[in-house]
């Protein structure tokens, strides 16, 4: 199943516009959290060419929790096996997201399906599962565009954060930069609390 040219242009544009509008709240969260992850990687990760690391890691590794929590492990040069095991444990829930979407994407080409499953973060899954577009072709287009947009937000956030630290490193003492970033690791926990509170309020309003 492909969206291709079988979708009328008007419906195609409407679906893309819908995906973009739905992605705007994620834009705010992903660019902010990605910026924090990039700053921490450059300031505390102790890696060379941190903007390049930030770009590659965010492009291939879409997980906000590990991007922030893993900075210490990167700095300590934790073994790849231990790091992979920790990543699997932290992000195991994503596997269940993929299982629930397999029936919807059963006829999708392998690589496209793999990308869609890889992009099933909490935010993507919530938006895609709640999508009211029932036509399979338009739904696939919606999920693809949404995933690509949200992925780009994360990549930009991480890369820009690392670049900012590198630029500041030419005029500010690196130890001072590291001191300024103390406590930023808790921003992910704060974001989770905000999202959780918002979900509770939404459910409460829906049951009134």
The CA distance from 81 to 123, in Å, is 28
Domain spans of the chain, in order of start: 9-206
> Which tens digits make up the pLDDT trace of 115-155?
998 888 888 888 888 888 888 899 999 999 999 999 999 99
Number of helices (H), then strands (E), in the chain? 11, 0
What pLDDT score was predicted for residue 130?
A: 83
Hey, how many other C-beta atoms are within 10 angstroms of the C-beta on 72?
13
- Could you tell me the pLDDT band of residue 90, with boundaries at 50, 70 and 90? low
Angle between helices 93-101 and 122-129 (to 10 degrees): 30
**168: buried, middle or exposed (CB in 10 Å: 19+, 13-18, 0-12)?**
middle
Q: Give the CA dihedral 155, 85, 80, 183, nearest 10 degrees.
A: 50
């Amino acid at each position: 199943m492909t969206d291709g040219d079988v979708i009328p242009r008007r419906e195609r544009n409407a679906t893309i516009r819908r995906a973009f509008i739905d992605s705007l709240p994620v834009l705010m969260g992903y660019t902010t959290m990605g910026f924090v992850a990039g700053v921490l990687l450059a300031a505390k990760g102790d890696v060379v060419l941190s903007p390049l690391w930030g770009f590659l890691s965010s492009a291939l590794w879409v997980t906000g929790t590990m991007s922030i929590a893993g900075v210490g492990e990167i700095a300590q040069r934790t073994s790849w096996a231990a790091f992979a095991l920790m990543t699997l444990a932290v992000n195991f829930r994503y596997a269940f997201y993929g299982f629930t979407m397999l029936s919807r994407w059963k006829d999708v080409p392998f690589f496209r399906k793999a990308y869609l499953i890889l992009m099933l973060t909490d935010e993507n899954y919530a938006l895609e599962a709640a999508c009211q577009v029932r036509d399979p072709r338009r739904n696939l287009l919606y999920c693809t565009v949404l995933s690509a947009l949200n992925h780009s937000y994360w990549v930009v956030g991480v890369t820009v954060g690392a670049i900012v630290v590198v630029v500041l490193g030419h005029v500010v003492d690196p130890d001072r930069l590291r001191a300024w970033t103390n406590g930023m690791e808790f921003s992910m926990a704060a974001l989770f609390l905000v999202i959780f509170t918002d979900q509770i309020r939404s459910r409460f309003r829906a049951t009134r």
